[in-house]
């Protein structure tokens, strides 16, 4: 079987880096811009995403360590929630509760509780080291998921910013090449190509 030779222009890889009498200085600059953009997008995005994930996980671990659950008692009936809740409260309502702080003082305040509970019902609330109410910290699994998502978003965002900066640099380079081309054309054909 005879091998068929392809006719037509061959695609030359890395043509901007090769010696060529038609290669312009701006072609080499563009090649460096593309290379720097890819490195910044990939490596910068990777490092930024890992750093953001680590910071987020450390922050959530510290938040979990600073809060602990204590028993409390409802001082009022917990209202029933509306039929649809899209406010991120996980179907809980706010009601006043009474708890004992680490220093032994009895305190009251509003906390998120399961709806429909009657007054004097025992509930669990989260407090900090000073005895003040805080939101329930995320579980270890939720913290891992949140830190991973943060890392991915930061990595993608960093890569997008790097690609956007590279694209802007290439647009400026294209504009400069167009101005140079127009100046050269004006020098070669001063009448604008009309005879």
Q: Alpha-carbon Rg of the chain, whole angstroms? A: 32
More confident residue, 151 or 177: 151
Integer Cα distance of 112 and 98 in angstroms = 13
Residue 30, C-beta contacts closer than 8 angstroms, at least 6 positions apart: 16, 170, 173
162 close to 44: Cβ distance less than 8 angstroms: yes
Taking residues 82-111, what's their average pLDDT? 77
**Average pLDDT of every residue of the chain:** 83
Structure tokens at 60: 């959530």
DSSP-derived 3-state class of residue 94: strand
The pLDDT, as a whole number, for residue 27 is 79
Tell me the C-alpha distance between 22 and 91, whole Å.
69
pLDDT of residue 161: 96
Share of the chain above pLDDT 70, in %: 80
Q: What angle do CA 135, 138, 143 make, to 5 degrees?
A: 145
pLDDT tens for 7-57 read 656 665 555 556 666 667 787 888 889 999 999 999 999 999 999 999 999
The predicted structure's pLDDT at residue 37:
95
User: Residue range 185-190: average pLDDT?
Assistant: 84
Q: What is the C-alpha separation between 133 and 111, in angstroms, rounded?
A: 7
Per-residue DSSP letters for 109-167? EEEEE-TTPPTT-EEEEEE-TTS-EEPPPPPHHHHHHHHHHHHHHHHHHHHHHHHHHHH
Lowest mean pLDDT among 24-28, 73-77, 119-123, 172-176: 24-28
């Amino acid at each position: 079987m005879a091998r068929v030779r392809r006719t037509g222009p061959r695609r030359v890889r890395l043509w901007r880096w090769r010696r060529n009498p038609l290669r312009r200085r701006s072609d080499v600059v563009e090649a460096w811009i593309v290379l720097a953009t890819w490195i910044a997008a990939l490596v910068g995005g990777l490092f930024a995403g890992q750093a953001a994930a680590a910071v987020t996980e450390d922050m959530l671990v510290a938040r979990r360590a600073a809060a602990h659950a204590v028993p409390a008692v409802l001082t009022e009936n917990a209202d029933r929630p509306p039929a649809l809740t899209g406010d991120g409260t996980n179907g809980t309502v706010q009601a006043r509760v009474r708890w004992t702080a680490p220093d032994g003082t009895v305190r009251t305040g509003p906390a998120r509780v399961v709806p429909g509970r009657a007054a004097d019902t025992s509930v669990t609330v989260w407090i900090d080291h000073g005895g003040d109410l805080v939101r329930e910290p995320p579980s270890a699994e939720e913290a891992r998921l949140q830190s991973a998502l943060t890392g991915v978003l930061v990595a993608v965002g960093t890569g997008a910013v790097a690609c956007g900066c590279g694209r802007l640099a290439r647009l400026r380079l294209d504009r400069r090449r167009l101005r140079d081309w127009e100046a050269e054309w004006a020098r070669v054909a001063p009448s604008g190509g009309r005879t």
